[in-house]
Structure 1
Amino acid sequence: MTEILTPRLLLRPWQEDDLLPMAEINADPAVMQWIGDGSVLDLEQTSDALERWEEEWDDEGFGLFAVELLGSGELIGFTGLSVPHFLPEVLPAVEAGWRLGRQFWGQGYASEAAQAVLEWGLQDRGLEHVISISRVGNKASENVAHKLGMTLERETTHPEYGTPLNVFGIDLTEYVG
């Protein structure tokens, strides 16, 4: 699996000792309020998610990276590419996504990590188009999508939870890196 280095971050494969810090991130209601139905995830659910994320690397040739802070080696969350199976109307599509622990918000880490992943996906993985899906009202994620050069492509509704969603996207031809 690939590693990506940015000025402040290491995007790397998941390690066994990432489970507990990622479970702490997933257990924070402020972090999870915009994801799915807004429910937090426990240790077992996080472990299951990590297994799915690792399987996607095998199935798709891309997936979610663990994001490590270079200065401390601390896991701060994830970023990466995935297929948004939960929203069939956008398929086939590849989504850039991110989730960071609350103490790491507002410092530009999500944008820095997502920019590196977008560039990797478009230039190294040969993707022609990448999207980002966020719940309406999640201004922080919308800001990251805008910083990536993405524009709003459609408004829709989550098929399971009924929550309004925005789908942002960018084509390889629009990407300026």
Structure 2
Amino acid sequence: MIYLETARLILRDWKETDLEPFRRLNEDEEVMTYFPASLTYEETNAFYQAIISEIKECGFGLYAVEEKTNREFIGLIGFHRATFDADFTPCIEIGWRLKKEAWGKGYATEGAAACLEYGFTELNFTDVYSFTANINQPSKNVMRKIGMNFIGNFDHPKVKEGSSLKKHVLFHINRK
């Protein structure tokens, strides 16, 4: 099923053929710079299954993204139920992860903006959050570009003490 189309992107259900490029995406150390580690083959398989399950269970999730022109898988953009222990959880999180070749083209902003519109108008979300490591300037820029507001800092409970990724920023937007 296709959930969203933008001028240049298709956000859709996952296909088995997405798994291999998804593995390469998650193994790429540069793509995974702002995550504690790149993912192994097995970890990506488990993540893939979790994404599929969340979409089936909730009717939303992290959608596979492809470029319209060549129908090539470039990553994921969409929603996730964040349930780790924090004062703003549980919540709906919007997130993205794109392969390096897709960076700098505005795809994350384009896809995330379309997701927000879809989330507020079709899924009836009232609030959406996004968070990242404080040092992740590219994602913070996307959050601002899609109209989210910075609301604070927190230490991510799933990131080990002493890591440069422990300090996170929290952004929020509500249905207007």
Q: TM-score range by the shorter chain?
A: over 0.9
Q: How many Å apart are 1:42 and its aligned residue?
A: 2.0
> For 1:3, what is the secondary structure of its paired residue?
strand
Q: How many Å apart are 1:2 and its aligned residue?
A: 4.7
- For structure 1, the residue ranges without an aligned partner over 5 or more in a row are none
> For 2:47, what is the secondary structure of its paired residue?
helix
Corresponding position of 1:160 = 158
Verify the 8 A CA contact 1:20 1:43 in the aligned structure 2.
Answer: no
Q: How many Å apart are 1:65 and its aligned residue?
A: 0.3
1:74, 1:23 → 2: CA distance? 15
Verify the 8 A CA contact 2:14 2:63 in the aligned structure 1.
Answer: yes
Corresponding position of 2:112 = 114
TM-score, length basis structure 1 = 0.93
- For structure 2, the residue ranges without an aligned partner over 5 or more in a row are none
Kindly report the root-mean-square deviation, in angstroms, between the aligned alpha carbons of the 2 structures: 1.2
2:158, 2:75 → 1: CA distance? 25
Corresponding position of 1:170 = 173
TM-score, length basis structure 2 = 0.93
Corresponding position of 1:127 = 125
AA matched with 1:86: F
Q: How many Å apart are 1:137 and its aligned residue?
A: 1.1
Change (3 A) 1:32 1:120: same
2:34, 2:118 → 1: CA distance? 26
Q: How many residues align?
A: 171
Corresponding position of 1:91 = 89
Q: How many Å apart are 1:61 and its aligned residue?
A: 2.0
Verify the 8 A CA contact 2:6 2:114 in the aligned structure 1.
Answer: yes
**Aligned 1:56-95 pairs, distance under 5 A:** 56-95=54-93
> For 1:111, what is the secondary structure of its paired residue?
helix
Q: How many Å apart are 1:87 and its aligned residue?
A: 4.4
Deviates more, 1:79-88 or 1:43-52: 79-88
> For 1:30, what is the secondary structure of its paired residue?
coil
Corresponding position of 2:34 = 34
Q: How many Å apart are 1:75 and its aligned residue?
A: 0.4
